[in-house]
Structure formats: structure tokens, C-alpha cells
Amino acid sequence: MLNVAVANLSFAYDETPILAGVDMQVEAGSFVCLLGQSGCGKSTLLRLLAGLEKPSAGQIRVEGRPIAGPGLERGVVFQDYGLFPWMSASENIAIALKQKFKTLNAAERRALARERLAEVELPSASFDKFPGQLSGGMRQRCAIARAFAIDPPILLMDEPFAALDAVTRARLQELVIALWRKDARRRKTVFFVTHDVDEALTLATDIYVLGQSPGRIVHRHSFGRDKVLGRDAFRGDPGLFALRSQLIGIINEEVSAFRILDGGLAREAAE
């Protein structure tokens, strides 16, 4: 279990600032949902956490140590699955295992890969199929299996279910919660990006709302340790409906502070 501190983080790809002064103190074992409108900088923040981009200012620390590039302690699941198309589902897992567990031989890796795929309830008939032969939901199960097979203490997920239908999406949300919950004493610290308020309410122990232009934290909500995760979240806490309206309000307020200008988005002059 690793804690993550984002301190006064700013970032720009070019002269336009994308993130400005982002601060987050994330306790080890939290399930953080980063919520915000499209284009506000969620993926950029995740890429910085992954070490794929370097901050223009500020720092990200894991257990007090500044991150310097990608690391095996931080696993990533993206919306587009990131599977190797020329490898079968089980080969995709096996190659990830090879990277992480140097002592396993090929037969052991193959066996463990199949175990991992079974754990995410992928039908065994699809273990030897290529990603292109699998449905979106199956591919994302495979990507999740791979992320959990490497067993990183920190897991970064960028809208992993955005392209899936509602039923598949709900099932995969439950799957991720079950996998996260299983290892109660060394729970992964998860950063899960979504633009869907209900998804954030379902999954998160902590919600951070990102505003836009530049991206910054405009709201934070921390649920207590007793938060019911998953589909039952709404049943467990009637107050969640009020929070839902509040979050939708905050996001809409952010959006209405923009207007279309010359085909681009520009912030209304502050009155």
C-alpha cells in the first residue's frame, strides 16, 4: 500500500497551461475517482501520475519519493485496452508476468496467466483468442487481468469502461471493486478517471472534481471508511442522491463558465 502526494502540480504541453496548482493527498489504499468534463486534463493528470509526462512545476511523490518516469509499482489500464493485438489473451498476461516475476518459467507463466483470466471470468474458450476476436468487454477484462496480474500497489485507470454498454460496464465496475477489495490488508491505491458522476459515486472512496482551463481541483469529497462500494452504494447511503446533484451542479457550473469563441473554448471574462 502506497500513499501519493500531488503538490502544486502544473503542466503544459505547449504555451497553454493544462493543469495549474493541483494538490492531492491520497492515503494508501484509497479508491480515488477523478471526475471532470472532457478536455479538463484528467488523462494528462493520469499520464503525469504514470510518469509518462514530467510536471512543469510541482511534484508527485509516492511514499515521499518524487516519481521519475514510469515504474512497475504503478500499473495502467486505458480505455483502448492497450493489449498487444498479435498476442492471444493469455500471451498478453504471460508477457506482463515475465516482466514482473523473473523467476517464473514459461510453463508457470502460462498457467498463472490462465488463472488470472479465469479470475476475471473470461470464458476459457477465449484464452487463446486474439484481442481482435474478443468483444470490448472481454478485452477490458483481459486488460484488468493483466493489471492485477502484475499486482502494482498503485493502479491508474483512464475511463476504462467509457466505450462499453451499460450492463457490461456495471459488471466490470463490480469486478474491479471485488479485485480491489480482496486483498484487504494491502489494497491498491487506485486513480480512476471518469466523466460519469454515477460511476464515481459507485466506485470511489474519494472523489476529486477537476475544473477546466486550466485544470485544477474544484471540489473534493471523501467518504468514510464505511462507504459501501459498488451497485449497493446508493442503497447504503440516501445522502448520495444529494451529493450526486451537488457534483452535477459543480460540473455544469464549470462548463457554463465557458463559451464558444472562434470555434474554440474560452473562459468568460471574470466579472
Q: Cβ closer to ligand ADP: 36 or 131?
A: 36
- Residue 12 binding ligand ADP, by CB under 6 A: no
Of 36, 55, 75, 211, the one binding ligand ADP (CB under 6 A) is: 36
- Residue 56 binding ligand ADP, by CB under 6 A: no
**Rama region for 228: left / alpha / beta (φ>0; ψ in -120 to 50; rest):** beta
- Residue 53 binding Mg ion, by CB under 5 A: no
- Residue 43 binding Mg ion, by CB under 5 A: yes
- Residue 56 binding Mg ion, by CB under 5 A: no
Residue 178 DSSP class: H
What is the nearest approach in angstroms of ligand ADP to the Cβ of residue 42? 3
Per-residue cell: 44:
494528462
Q: Cβ closer to ligand ADP: 10 or 43?
A: 43
Q: Cβ closer to ligand ADP: 52 or 118?
A: 52
- Residue 79 binding ligand ADP, by CB under 6 A: no
Of 44, 92, 173, 202, the one binding ligand ADP (CB under 6 A) is: 44
- Residue 13 binding ligand ADP, by CB under 6 A: yes
Long-range contacts of 99-104 (CB under 8 A, 24+ apart): 99/72, 99/150, 100/72, 100/149, 100/150, 100/151
Query: What is the identity of the amino acid at 215?
Result: G
Q: Which helix (H) or strand (E) holds 117?
A: helix 106-119
The interface region with ligand ADP, picked from 39-47, 112-120, 180-188, 245-253 by CB under 6 A, is 39-47
Residue whose C-alpha is closest to residue 257's, from 216, 198, 229, 228: 216
Residue whose C-alpha is closest to residue 35's, from 258, 251, 227, 266: 251
- Residue 41 binding ligand ADP, by CB under 6 A: yes
- Residue 10 binding ligand ADP, by CB under 6 A: no
226 CB burial (10 A radius; 0-12, 13-18, 19+): exposed
State the Cα–Cα distance between residues 138 and 110, nearest whole angstrom. 19
Q: Cβ closer to Mg ion: 43 or 246?
A: 43
- Residue 194 binding ligand ADP, by CB under 6 A: no
Strands 264-267 and 258-261 turn out to be antiparallel
What is the nearest approach in angstroms of Mg ion to the Cβ of residue 257? 20
Instruction: Answer yes or no: are the C-beta atoms of 251 and 194 closer than 8 Å.
Output: no
What is the nearest approach in angstroms of ligand ADP to the Cβ of residue 57? 16
Contact residues toward Mg ion (CB under 5 A) are: 43
Contact residues toward ligand ADP (CB under 6 A) are: 13-14, 18, 36, 38-44
